[in-house]
Amino acid sequence: HKNTLTVRNSSRRDVEMDIEYLYEVVPQLSRVFRITDKIGEGTFSSVYLGEAQMTDGRREKFALKHLIPTSHPVRIAAELQCLTVAGGKENVMGVTYCFRKEHHVVIVMPYVEHQPFVEIVGTLSFEEVQHYIYHLLKALKHIHEFGIIHRDIKPTNFLYNRREKQYALVDFGLAQGTPDTQIELLKAPLLKPTKTEDVAARRFVSTKRRPLPARSSTTGQKPKPTSLNPALTCSCYMTDHICNICLSRKQQVAPRAGTPGFRAPEVLTKCPNQGTAIDIWSAGVILLSLLSGRYPFFKASDDLLALTQIMTIRGSKETAQAARKFGKAIVCSRELPPLDLRILCETLRGIRPCGGDSLPPEFRTSRHPADTKQEQTGPTPGPSRGTGWDSVPDHIYDLLDKLLDLNPATRISAAVALQHPLFKDFTE
């Protein structure tokens, strides 16, 4: 989502024009709401702040989500059904009302005042981090019990009011259902992924290719093929071309929705069988940001680079072994050992001195752990004394390890995670 950045860069006149347009296309809004601001803008919707006069005389704030007219009616209805069936409890946003005029739909929801995650990620106390991840897991447990896969878990979709200690999981626009989902409209064939002509979806993924040998200038014959793994049936593996065998293969269909940096390994490798575990991985990435004070932690321009960044943290051999479990083969040009998560997070947070062999060279010098070329977008925290960071229990790194399990089949569920020793003193 481009929400905060886009809105802040818009002039007040632009916002006023957008509000006027919204009143024009959905005129019944003007009878209920005074729309005062545009507070978010994404690919599929814009969100506005509105006030309404309540029957007891109070003026109450609401978030009005205007869905783009090209959204398919079933997709819109499915998002509404997620909000009405599962929303309104357990830190999941509910829906107050819905307006429709022709192709324009506006979903009205309670307004949760919140600070942008990037502004607070390095300032939270350890206790606040514990509560944040606990309440996120509560929301995930709740929607997963309904058979909802959110598919876009990230801080901007989990609103956090630090002062009031309120939490709200929002934006079910990309949600899909599990095979036993209770959300009827998530069973619709329309919501299954569409076929894409993506040759990279073939079974073998490589993070580095060998150059294609040059053709002989005298004979015009092709050079002898590179020796191949006997398990392979194609002639282009580890080269920079695609052979006819691969071109003729039936392309794999797999959902790829979500935000770069938060996609699980099974999403990045286009595994066709994706379940609620992809939301758990995203929660693990959020916890990684909270513990390290760095946000975004991963930021890659394509799926292969994203996979490489994961290998940098979790290890290349471990990533390849996990991928084999869900039917994918990954080849990395060099071996990357897994990192100790505590050492990584404490070094990046500034609690542990950086040096020696505690981290690989790229971590010692980069301003961002996953990409040495990008700028750190969040505050760079110093040592956090007096806020619980000098006595962090091993339990939280154990939970982080389980959330970032490379294999979705063994990755911890939200329900089991809530029983983790980290939360033994938590009460409902």
Specify the pLDDT at position 364.
Answer: 55
Question: Residue 343 falls within a domain, yes or no?
Answer: yes
pLDDT band at 26 (very low <50, low <70, confident <90, very high): very high
Question: Residue 276 falls within a domain, yes or no?
Answer: yes
Interatomic CA distance for residues 355 and 363, integer angstroms: 10
Say yes or no: 276 and 234 in one domain.
no
Whether residue 386 has pLDDT greater than 90: no
Question: Residue 402 falls within a domain, yes or no?
Answer: yes
pLDDT band at 71 (very low <50, low <70, confident <90, very high): confident
Q: 59 forms bridges with which residues in the sheet?
A: 53
Summary mean pLDDT of the chain:
83
pLDDT band at 373 (very low <50, low <70, confident <90, very high): very low
Specify the pLDDT at position 294.
Answer: 95
Q: In this structure, which amino acid lies at residue 307?
A: L
pLDDT digits (tens, 9 = 90+) for 239-251: 666 677 666 665 5
Q: What is the mean pLDDT of residues 263-273?
A: 94
Two tokens, residue 60: 């109450």
Least confident span in 3-17, 63-77, 345-359: 3-17
Tokens 């995203």 map to which residue?
A: 282
Say yes or no: 272 and 360 in one domain.
yes
Specify the pLDDT at position 240.
Answer: 60
326 and 408 in contact (C-beta within 8 Å)? yes
Say yes or no: 279 and 245 in one domain.
no
Q: What is the mean pLDDT of residues 386-396?
A: 90
pLDDT band at 301 (very low <50, low <70, confident <90, very high): confident
Please give the residue range of the domain that contains residue 392. 117-193+255-423
Whether residue 368 has pLDDT greater than 90: no
Q: What is the mean pLDDT of residues 408-416?
A: 98
Question: Residue 199 falls within a domain, yes or no?
Answer: no
Least confident span in 35-49, 200-214, 360-374, 380-394: 200-214
Interatomic CA distance for residues 127 and 399, integer angstroms: 15
pLDDT digits (tens, 9 = 90+) for 103-122: 999 999 999 999 999 999 99
pLDDT digits (tens, 9 = 90+) for 319-363: 999 999 999 999 888 899 999 999 999 999 988 887 655 666 655
Contacts of 106 (CB under 8 A, 6+ apart): 22, 26, 29, 64, 65, 66, 67, 98, 99, 100
Specify the pLDDT at position 361.
Answer: 60
Q: Which of 78, 110, 142 is the last residue of a domain?
A: 110
pLDDT digits (tens, 9 = 90+) for 167-190: 999 999 999 999 999 999 998 665
Interatomic CA distance for residues 303 and 290, integer angstroms: 23
38 and 18 in contact (C-beta within 8 Å)? yes
Specify the pLDDT at position 367.
Answer: 44
Say yes or no: 240 and 271 in one domain.
no
Specify the pLDDT at position 381.
Answer: 45
Say yes or no: 343 and 246 in one domain.
no
Say yes or no: 90 and 163 in one domain.
no
Q: Which of 54, 81, 110 is the last residue of a domain?
A: 110
pLDDT band at 43 (very low <50, low <70, confident <90, very high): confident
Say yes or no: 153 and 275 in one domain.
yes
pLDDT band at 260 (very low <50, low <70, confident <90, very high): very high
Whether residue 147 has pLDDT greater than 70: yes
Say yes or no: 217 and 134 in one domain.
no
Specify the pLDDT at position 357.
Answer: 59
Specify the pLDDT at position 199.
Answer: 36
Two tokens, residue 409: 């089949």
pLDDT over 90, % of the chain: 64
Whether residue 195 has pLDDT greater than 80: no
* Nearest C-alpha neighbor of 65 from the set 94, 98, 33: 98
Q: What is the mean pLDDT of residues 24-46?
A: 94
Say yes or no: 85 and 146 in one domain.
no
Specify the pLDDT at position 42.
Answer: 82
CATH code, 297: 1.10.510.10
Question: Residue 78 falls within a domain, yes or no?
Answer: yes
Burial class (CB within 10 angstroms; exposed 0-12, middle 13-18, buried 19+) of 109? buried
Say yes or no: 313 and 397 in one domain.
yes
CB atoms within 10 A of CB 164: 10
Two tokens, residue 193: 């992924």
52 and 31 in contact (C-beta within 8 Å)? no
Catalytic residues: 152
386 and 302 in contact (C-beta within 8 Å)? no
Q: In this structure, which amino acid lies at residue 219?
A: T
CATH code, 53: 3.30.200.20
Say yes or no: 80 and 132 in one domain.
no
Question: Residue 61 falls within a domain, yes or no?
Answer: yes
Domains held by the chain: number: 3
What Å distances lie between residue 208 and 204, 239, 303, 334, CA to CA?
12, 9, 13, 9
Burial class (CB within 10 angstroms; exposed 0-12, middle 13-18, buried 19+) of 131? middle
Question: Residue 200 falls within a domain, yes or no?
Answer: no
Whether residue 34 has pLDDT greater than 80: yes
Flag whether 89 is marked binding.
no
Q: Which of 58, 84, 110 is the last residue of a domain?
A: 110
Question: Residue 182 falls within a domain, yes or no?
Answer: yes
Whether residue 421 has pLDDT greater than 90: yes
Say yes or no: 63 and 77 in one domain.
yes
246 and 199 in contact (C-beta within 8 Å)? yes
User: What pTM was estimated for this model as a whole?
Assistant: 0.81
284 and 404 in contact (C-beta within 8 Å)? yes
Write the Ramachandran bin of 273: left for phi over 0, alpha for psi from -120 to 50, otherwise beta.
Answer: beta
